[in-house]
Each structure stands twice: as C-alpha cells, then as structure tokens.
A and B are shown apart, each in its own frame.
Chain A
Amino acid sequence: MKRRQLIKAAATFATAATLSTTALISTGFAADDVFRVVVLGGLSAKGILADNSSTSVLAAQAGAEIVNKNGGIGGKKVVVEVLDDQANPTVAVTKLREAINSSSKPDAVLNSGPSTIAEATLPIINQAGILSFNIGPTKTSWDAAKFPLNFDLSPAPANYASGFLDYIKVKGYKSVGIIHGNSAYGEALGTLMEKTVSEGGVTVTAKEGYDYSALDMTPQLDKIKSTNPEALIVDGYGSVVGYVLQGIQKLGWDIPLLGDNSIAATGLISKTPPDGVLGTDAVKNLVMQVFSSTKYDPDATGVNEAVATMKSLGPIKASLILAYNYDALALMAAAAEAAGSTDAKAMAAALETDAVTTAAKTEILKKYNFSKESHAANPSNDSFAFIAPSELKDGQYQ
C-alpha cells in the first residue's frame, strides 16, 4: 500500500508543477475574465501540517469547481493558484508579494496556515486592497477597523472555548485540567480556555504546556493528575496525541478527555489498530470537539456534495475541519452576486450583511456571522459537536 504512495506522490509532483498555470478547461467564461484566488498553505511543512494544508487546498479547489459550475464569482471563472509557504512567514511574504506584484494580481487570498502566517501577510494583503479569508485568527485579524478586507473563517479560540464551556456544563464537570502544545494556536487556546472556563464558574485545576518535539507527556499529565480535575481538556496534533494517550494510560488515569479539533484532525485516533488506537482503551474516554459537518450525515446533501467534489480532486488527508476554504468560495460568490461587482470593497461590504452570509452556500460551518465591526466567524455554539472518535472516511467521522 505504501509503495503506491510513492507513485501517487510523484503524480502529485507533476500536478504541483502545473498548478500555478491551471488551464482553463471548462467553457462558458471569457478567457481573460478570471477571478484569481491564491491559496497560501504549508504543503512542504513538516509532519501533519502538510496534510492539513493539502486538505485546505483541496477544499479551495472543490469550492472553485462548484462555484464555477454555478456561474463563477460575479460571472468570472475562478482560478485557484497554490503557493507553498512551508508554514514559514518569511516565505509566505515572499510568495505573496511576488503574486501581488505579478501581472496577474490575485482577487482574493486564502490563508490556510497558522496564525503566524496571518500576522505576517495580513498587512500586505490589506495594503494591496485584496479580499482575504483566514483560518489562523490572530489577536487583530477579526478587527474590521484594522483589516477591513479580511474575514476569519476559523472560529477564534474564544469561540471554541465557549463551546467547551457549554459541553462541560451539560456534563456537570466542576473542575478541569488543560494540557496544550506550544504552537501559537495551542498557547492561545490554552490561555483562552482557562479564562473562558473559569469565568463560566468551572475550576481550572492546572494548565500545562508541552513541547512539540517532546516524546513523553507523562510528567505534565502526572502534574495535572495530582490536582484531581474531573475532566481533562487536550490540545495537540500528530504524534504528541499518541504520547498524551500513552501517558494517560500509563498513569492508569480514568478521566473523561475533551479533545479540541486539532486532536480530531489527527489520524492516529481515527484508525483502528495496528495503525492507530481507535477502539482501544486509550480513547474510550475521549470526546472531541468538531463541527457538525465533520460528522457524516447521509441527509446533509450540501456537505456530501462538497466531500464528493474534494474526493474527485484528490485524497482528503486531514479532517473536514480544515476545509473552510470551500466556504470561502461560496461566501465570495454570494457576496459578488449581492454587490453586483467583484470589487474587493463592495464584496467586503456585502459580506458584512446577514442576507449574504445566510444566502451563501457554506457547508463546513452553516453560517458565518460577520458584522460591520467584527469579521470573526462567530459561529453559534450549536455549530460545534462533541463526538467520540470513529473511523475517518474522506475527512468525516462516521
């Protein structure tokens, strides 16, 4: 099986080389009348980040295909260009500036990387007057006064945290411990989680961080265990999830585990042994916060169409949580239609209205609640679901 992946990878290589000059295949659009969407992603980043990026890229391409089928954005055909930023802000700035200064200036930029990329690129995108969507929220990326043309697709850590608080209250836990990674997101989530949860009247007994290159999290877990929380909130992606679960089992600690969506994006827990730990004691206490769309539902035709389209373009390596870019295309199509133009400012103004965000055929999150002041996604708490791990098929839990 793995040998085939090498061939597959070689094939991807060939496509990657041609991606930047995606040919205009379908008819019905004037050749020069295109809407250029640049996707920034860390395709050659290390580890699991690369899979996340590839899913983001796939989502954008699928979104473009659907939008093009329905007449494009403001009558223009959408062309997706992928820029590999290696998850490095300096590289992202280089590639982005090159794209902006090229003869074919992008009409929209989708940042599919972590918040550090957003920090580095948002001022540039904003200055160039380009519409942008971002899945790595920063402290100011939602602020319409600062970045009037940027919209955050991913809920802010505070949104996730408030979803956690709801769940914790439903379950009736009085105290929780938090363990998180030392990525920008992990740090932010840890801090906000502690704040939100304790403001909600739940005691946070301990909050511990770990290094992403560490191989054993038992010490942090042991420390949290000694404070006796009723549940443990876990952040992390990739192999560290395995180390955390190993540590919990080793300590013989029987405690409810509440994983965030990065846990849910980790393949290890969605595969049965021998590849993964699905169905073993390691995950018997685990529930994970995901979007409603991340769980397979035969009746959700819109989501299923999105998945089918993505699948037709390539394998979905990470979970559907990373597929926000699909929604970005839908949002832009709706905004251009309402504004009657593909002008960035006009589209941004349209996106601030409830009518447009309601009309947009977004699937990953049902509804984005952008307003004049705040361009944060602000999804309602019922957009989140807590589910037990199950097999992940095409980015969805079954």
Chain B
Amino acid sequence: MTLVWGGLALGAIYALVAIGYNIVYLSAKTFNFAHAQLLMLGVFVTYTCLMEWRLPWLLVIVLAAAAVAVVAAIENLVAVRPVKDVHNILVTTLGASTFLDGTVSLIWGNQPLAVSFPLGGNAIDLLGGRVYPIEPILILLVIVIVLADFWISRRFLVGLALRAMSEDPEAAQLRGVNIRAMAFGAFVAAGALAGAAAVFVGPKTFAVSTLGDSLALKGFVALAIGGFGSMPGALVGGAAVGLVEILAARYLGGEYSNPMIFVMLLTVFIIRPAGLFVHSSERTV
C-alpha cells in the first residue's frame, strides 16, 4: 500500500503536468512543451519565497502562481503567438523549455534544494501504508482541480467558450468568442495553475533544475493514455503511469519502469487509439 500511495502521488504530479498541457490544447489545439519547466519554475519560486524569505504559506501560493503566470505570458507572446506553423510551435516551446532549464540553473544553481510543507515532513500511517502528508494531499489536489474544471466548464461562460473553441474554433468565433484572447488567457491560466500547484509539488520532488525533464514526457504519456483534451483522462492517465512506474520498479527492477510504461502506452493505443477518455469518431469525410 505504501507503494500504491507513492505511485498515486507520483501520478498526481504527472497529472498536474498533463492538465497544463490539456488547458493549452483545448484552447489552441497545440501544446506547450515547456509546461513542465513552468511547474519547475514554480517549485523554485516556492523555494525562494518559503524557505529564504519565510513568507506565509498562502501568500507563497499566490506569489508562485503570479510569477509563473507572468513567465507563461511572456512565453506565449514571444514563442507561441508569433508562430504560424504548428510544427514550429513544437520547436519554439522546446526552445522555451531549454531556456527555462538554463535560467533556473543559473539563478538557483544545480544542487537540489529542499522545500518544506506546513503539515510536516514525517511519514505517517494511512490506510495500511506509509505516506508523507504531502502525498495524499497531492492526490486530493489534482482531483479537486479536475472537479473544478468540470464545474467551471459547465457553469461559467468562460468555460463554455473554451469548450466551444475546442469543438469548433470557427463557429465559436462567429458566436463572438475572441479566440486569440481566450487562447492567451488559457495559456496564462495554465501557467498560474502550475505555479500554485508547484507549492505542493516541491516538498515531494525538491527544487532541482532537472525536474522539468523528468516530468515533461511522463506528463505527456499520462495525457496520451487518458486522451488529448480530457481532464479526467489526464487524472487516470497520470495515476496509471505513476503506478506502473512504481510497481515495475518494485517487482521487475528499476530498468523496467520506462519499458513497462511504453508497453502500457502501446496497449492503450491498440485498444483505444484516441486514449481512454476520448472517443475516436468514425466519420472522416
């Protein structure tokens, strides 16, 4: 059970990254490959605010969200908006991720830095397993985010507009949705969410300049398994990746983690080509 908790907590972090990819995907049908780096940046900002400046915890959440949102906005203006071709966005956002990697290691150095959590850093017993308090909270956090998304997208105009855009951008535009503003807003909102969530991620992962690389691809696999555009999919995909990674390492050996994730990915694709939570449509013409 200890391992299951660990896998789910790990999965929750992957899911957070996947959700970030998703928000941008829904609004602009493209991906921000630097999203994991934005989350990493949030963790470092958390480190500075929480550990060095000793600011109150809630304020840190706000500051981290704001800081990462600003960086995301800059990224969008510099590396996404002026780009015309989808494949180029792939390159420019990868460029942004390299840039953020370099910036973070210049500012904060390369040594891992510990980030503490108000509820303490000692392992506790929970439902037959040992966990750090941060782990169930991460799991809870990502579930709350998905539920909140569900609620926002149905109750608020902005959520409806986002859904409409992802279904049919042209029609949405005709109905008066400002597509460019919405896409920009979603990009920045994804950044803010990453910043806020980073406050919870840091205590589990440390602030380290290689964090983005560790998360970027696994987050994407989580997304692909759940299905592009599906929030519950991201949640389930993240959990699946986390669990498979942990259980493969335990029962097969560390070198089997990645291959087993790959096997799972292929299996899902063979059974459901569009991912678990997205229906592939038969209509083509």
Are B3 and A222 interface neighbours, CB within 8 A?
Answer: yes
Are A209 and B255 interface neighbours, CB within 8 A?
Answer: yes
* Complex CA–CA separation, A276 to B113 (angstroms): 6
Also in contact, A274 and B254, with CB within 8 A (given A249-B123, A251-B130) = no
* Complex CA–CA separation, A314 to B263 (angstroms): 48
Among the 9-residue stretches B22-30, B70-78, B102-110, B266-274, the one with 4 or more Cβ atoms under 8 Å from chain A is B102-110
Also in contact, A220 and B254, with CB within 8 A (given A214-B249, A268-B206) = yes
Are A239 and B250 interface neighbours, CB within 8 A?
Answer: no
Are B13 and A276 interface neighbours, CB within 8 A?
Answer: no
Contacts of A26 in B (CB 8 A): none
As a 0/1 sequence over residues 243 to 254 of chain B, the CB contacts with chain A under 8 angstroms (1 = contact) are 001111111011
Are B112 and A250 interface neighbours, CB within 8 A?
Answer: no
Contacts of A268 in B (CB 8 A): 111-114, 206
* Complex CA–CA separation, A249 to B121 (angstroms): 10
B10 within 8 Å of A by Cβ?
Answer: yes
B132 within 8 Å of A by Cβ?
Answer: yes
- Nearest CB of chain B from residue A17's CB, rounded to whole Å: 15
- Nearest CB of chain A from residue B259's CB, rounded to whole Å: 11
Contacts of A241 in B (CB 8 A): 112
Are A238 and B208 interface neighbours, CB within 8 A?
Answer: yes
Task: Name the interface residues of A192-208: CB closer than 8 Å to any CB of B.
Answer: 208
B92 within 8 Å of A by Cβ?
Answer: no
Among the 9-residue stretches B181-189, B209-217, B222-230, the one with 4 or more Cβ atoms under 8 Å from chain A is B209-217
- Nearest CB of chain B from residue A245's CB, rounded to whole Å: 10
Interface size class for chain A?
35 or more
Contacts of B211 in A (CB 8 A): 239
Are A209 and B254 interface neighbours, CB within 8 A?
Answer: yes
Also in contact, A218 and B114, with CB within 8 A (given A2-B48, A208-B253, A209-B255) = no
* Complex CA–CA separation, A211 to B251 (angstroms): 15
- Nearest CB of chain B from residue A393's CB, rounded to whole Å: 15
B6 within 8 Å of A by Cβ?
Answer: yes
Contacts of A212 in B (CB 8 A): 210
* Complex CA–CA separation, A212 to B255 (angstroms): 11
Partner among B7, B52, B208, B214 whose Cβ is within 8 Å of the Cβ of A2: B52
A242 within 8 Å of B by Cβ?
Answer: yes
**Number of B residues contacting the other chain (C-beta, 8 Å)?**
49
B258 within 8 Å of A by Cβ?
Answer: yes
Task: Name the interface residues of B89-111: CB closer than 8 Å to any CB of A.
Answer: 101, 105-111
- Nearest CB of chain B from residue A188's CB, rounded to whole Å: 15
Also in contact, A276 and B114, with CB within 8 A (given A218-B246, A249-B123) = yes
B32 within 8 Å of A by Cβ?
Answer: no
Are B257 and A250 interface neighbours, CB within 8 A?
Answer: no
Among the 9-residue stretches A44-52, A147-155, A375-383, the one with 4 or more Cβ atoms under 8 Å from chain B is A44-52
- Nearest CB of chain B from residue A349's CB, rounded to whole Å: 40
Contacts of A211 in B (CB 8 A): 254-255, 257-258
Are B206 and A251 interface neighbours, CB within 8 A?
Answer: no
Partner among B2, B108, B253, B257 whose Cβ is within 8 Å of the Cβ of A222: B2
Are A46 and B204 interface neighbours, CB within 8 A?
Answer: no
For B250, the closest partner residue in chain A by CB is A219
B205 within 8 Å of A by Cβ?
Answer: yes
Also in contact, A267 and B112, with CB within 8 A (given A182-B255, A239-B205, A249-B123) = yes
- Nearest CB of chain A from residue B43's CB, rounded to whole Å: 11
Also in contact, A274 and B114, with CB within 8 A (given A216-B10, A239-B208, A250-B2) = yes
* Complex CA–CA separation, A274 to B122 (angstroms): 14
Residues of chain A whose beta carbon lies under 8 Å from any beta carbon of chain B: 1-2, 5-6, 9, 46-51, 182, 208-220, 222-223, 238-239, 241-243, 246, 249-252, 266-268, 273-277, 317
Sample 9 A-B pairs with CB under 8 A, ordered by A number. Answer: A2-B48, A46-B101, A46-B110, A208-B253, A213-B210, A223-B250, A250-B130, A252-B123, A273-B116
